[in-house]
Amino acid sequence: MTANKPQNRYDYDVVVIGAGHAGTEAAAAAARVGAKTVLLTTNLDTVGQMSCNPAIGGVAKGQIVREVDALGGLMGEAIDATGIQFRMLNRRKGPAMHSPRAQADKKAYQNFIKFRIENQDNLDLRQEVVEDLITEPIAEGSDRLATQRVVGVQVRGDAAYYARTVILTTGTFLQAIMHTGKSQSAGGRAGEGTTAGLSGALHHLGFTLDRFKTGTPPRLNARTIDYAGLEEQPGDEDPQPFSYLNDAITSPQMACHIAHTNEQVHDLIRANLDRAPMYSGQIDSRGPRYCPSIEDKVVRFADKSSHQLFLEPEGRQNCEVYVNGISTSLPRDVQDAMFRCIPGLEKATIMRYGYAVEYDFSPPTQLWPHLESKAVSGLFFAGQINGTTGYEEAAGQGLLAGLNAARLVAAQTPWVPSRQDAYVGVLVDDLVTSGTDEPYRMFTSRAEYRLLLRQDNADRRLTQQADELGLIDAARRERFQNKRRDIERGNELLKAAKIQPPTGPVVRGDVYLRRPEVTWETLREQVPELGEIGKEAAEQCTIDIKYAGYIDRQQAEVHKQSRHAEKSIPVSFDYDRIGPLRTEAKEKLNRVRPINLGQAKRISGITPADLALVLAHLENHS
Ligand code: FAD
């Protein structure tokens, strides 16, 4: 809609729509860098709610949480304060694969996030349902592609919020339909409604929308589970915090348990496939391949006679147990019957039935890398609305969108981490360059420089930049600087130390530490001053030294690749004027509008020859 004169008008720099994982990080980041921000959300009791799994982190996702934290975000501190079980996954593999994951006390997590939002300066939180976007045309002659500019949002009732920038983080709520068996209802999450108006508004503004689906498993009452025969899965003995602000996790940990499906369960599922919305044709949108429903698993892996189920408590003062591994939209009676056949769960009562949800998302190739839309100036998108799945992916995008919306208001250039700086950089580059044809989640395999993007060094990669951007406070700055000094001192001590190995000549401490059998602790016995170095700094010194060869090789590769990659391409660059450029290449480049040659190179189907033509044209006309 275009601007009108509502009865109640509120003015801000940044309006964020939706207080999920993307929205809360977006609002907090915009406010931290000084923008007058409001976060509007349907229900204040669901701020920061985990729609599905009560867990944060995991492979590649844990790395994103560490990055969000290194940039001053909320997620790391929230899970540290409210986690009930912490595990470092892939501990036996190299450091690039180490990935922190924690079960959360779901309600406590949500309250923590809400409290932080309520206490953030420059930020108002308000319960509102946003129904429309207010835009106005941009006069011709602007050097941007956009023909419209967002100026605010219309909410249900007689009020509008005006702002220079608006961030859409509405998750699974656009035109959402939930399915359990043949039963369907409108809503983006059990017990909640859907958002219809915004899909219409986006269509009206010329955006393409597509549909995805995702599913969730049933929740059981812990009291009705027979844990005696189930395998216990404890947390780590020395749990590691997610936040660089915390030294340790001291809260008591809770155990998870493992159960198994069997042929009886699989037969039951096969016999009822015609009642499963995904197989009966009731749902035809695409879901996450790597996170299949139990129906999918039984069909796709027909030779497997059993699948693992992880029973994950949803909180300390809560009997609900999340059954990870059995996401389903089968009818209620089949869900009940499945558990009757699973040892340990024969008497389990379902507290919430599993369901699938279909929703609109906005293909992210419609965005610039800083997450502003190409068509409507000032309108940003972050989170599940961009076709991603997962709290962590949402949080990373949210933080970036919030920061860049505030920077646009302040007439500053956007900031986007590169693929070699952060998984968040990989995430947004993949999204805006290639789009996604299934819900996108992060994997370590998506990052070409994963030895550089470790969970342990996110602060060394990002916190200095976060400080320059105004994203972090004095306490974090001081902690980071102390750690950096500690790392330097550790390296000096190692270089100065003369070590006598059991055999052979005396060697320097750093040379000795390169040996696979030598650890920081063994060295400390011979160099007592190393005891002054903090645990995290000692870990960094050790990794830097032990993996120096691999790290140097990746850094050299980054250097080589970035020679031409950083050459920027003007927004209004006219690909059609490059005569010899293939029509297919013109179409793709016009659609994606890469901001530099590096991004152009990553567009599928763009060849080195196409790039050479673009480069030549750029150089001849600059
Ligand atoms: P959300 O967390 O959904 O937050 C959106 C917020 O916007 C909500 O607070 C909502 O109330 C608010 N909102 C919506 N419309 C409006 C409006 N018009 N006005 C004001 N406020 C509005 N992820 C996985 O990684 N694995 C899974 O297996 C998985 N399964 C899922 C199953 C289900 C049933 C659902 C619903 C989600 C699942 N997810 C899963 C996804 C995960 O929940 C999301 O990726 C994550 O929550 C996305 O964060 P977000 O901030 O983008 O959106």
Tell me, what's the pLDDT at 195? 80
Q: Helix (H, G, I), strand (E, B), or coil: what is residue 49?
A: coil
Mean pLDDT of the chain: 93
| Count of beta carbons in the 10 Å neighbourhood of residue 305 | 11
Name the helix (H) or strand (E) containing 493: helix 474-496
Question: Is the pLDDT assigned to residue 66 strictly greater than 80?
Answer: yes
Averaged pLDDT for residues 95-113: 96
**d(CA 403, ligand 1 centre) in Å:** 21
Question: Is the pLDDT assigned to residue 5 strictly greater than 80?
Answer: no
Closest to 325 measured CA to CA, from 57, 52, 50, 49: 52
* Ligand 1 pocket residues where CB is under 6 Å: 17-23, 40-43, 46, 51-53, 129-130, 169-173, 189, 195, 198, 214-216, 291, 357, 383-384, 389-391, 394, 441
Question: Is the pLDDT assigned to residue 388 strictly greater than 70?
Answer: yes
Question: Is the pLDDT assigned to residue 277 strictly greater than 90?
Answer: no
Closest to 421 measured CA to CA, from 23, 64, 33, 88: 64
Tell me, what's the pLDDT at 616? 84
Residue 14 in marked binding region? no
215 neighbors 209 (Cβ within 8 angstroms):
no
**d(CA 269, ligand 1 centre) in Å:** 28
Quick one: CA dihedral 480, 481, 486, 488, positive or negative? positive
| CA nearest ligand 1 atom 43, residue | 51
Question: Which ligand 1 atom sits closest to the C-alpha of 383?
Answer: 52
Q: Tell me the best of 16, 25, 39, 42 to mutate to test the pocket of ligand 1, counting ligand atoms within 8 Å of each CB and taking the most.
A: 42
Residue 499 in marked binding region? no
Q: Tell me the best of 15, 16, 21 to mutate to test the pocket of ligand 1, counting ligand atoms within 8 Å of each CB and taking the most.
A: 21
Tell me, what's the pLDDT at 607? 78
Q: Tell me the best of 17, 106, 389, 393 to mutate to test the pocket of ligand 1, counting ligand atoms within 8 Å of each CB and taking the most.
A: 389
**d(CA 620, ligand 1 centre) in Å:** 47
Confidence of residue 141 (pLDDT cuts 50, 70, 90): low
**d(CA 558, ligand 1 centre) in Å:** 35
Q: Tell me the best of 42, 126, 172 to mutate to test the pocket of ligand 1, counting ligand atoms within 8 Å of each CB and taking the most.
A: 172
Name the helix (H) or strand (E) containing 131: strand 130-137
**pLDDT tens, residue by residue, 535-575:** 999 999 999 999 999 999 988 888 877 777 888 999 889 99
Residue 124 in marked binding region? no
Burial (0-12, 13-18, 19+ Cβ within 10 Å), 507:
middle
**d(CA 24, ligand 1 centre) in Å:** 12
Question: Is the pLDDT assigned to residue 142 strictly greater than 90?
Answer: no
Averaged pLDDT for residues 261-287: 87
Q: Helix (H, G, I), strand (E, B), or coil: what is residue 7?
A: coil
Return the minimum-mean-pLDDT range out of 5-9, 10-14, 256-260, 539-543. 5-9
Closest to 100 measured CA to CA, from 74, 76, 122, 81: 76
Tokens 């009642």, residue located: 275
The structure tokens listed for 245 are: 């602000």
Q: What is the pTM of this model?
A: 0.93
Tell me, what's the pLDDT at 33? 98
DSSP state of 252: P
Tell me, what's the pLDDT at 149? 96
Quick one: CA dihedral 347, 352, 356, 362, positive or negative? negative
Residue 384 in marked binding region? yes
What CA–CA distances, in Å, run from 379 to 321, 376, 439, 490?
Answer: 39, 6, 22, 47
Tokens 């659609």, residue located: 591
* Residue 611 identity: L
Question: Is the pLDDT assigned to residue 143 strictly greater than 60?
Answer: no
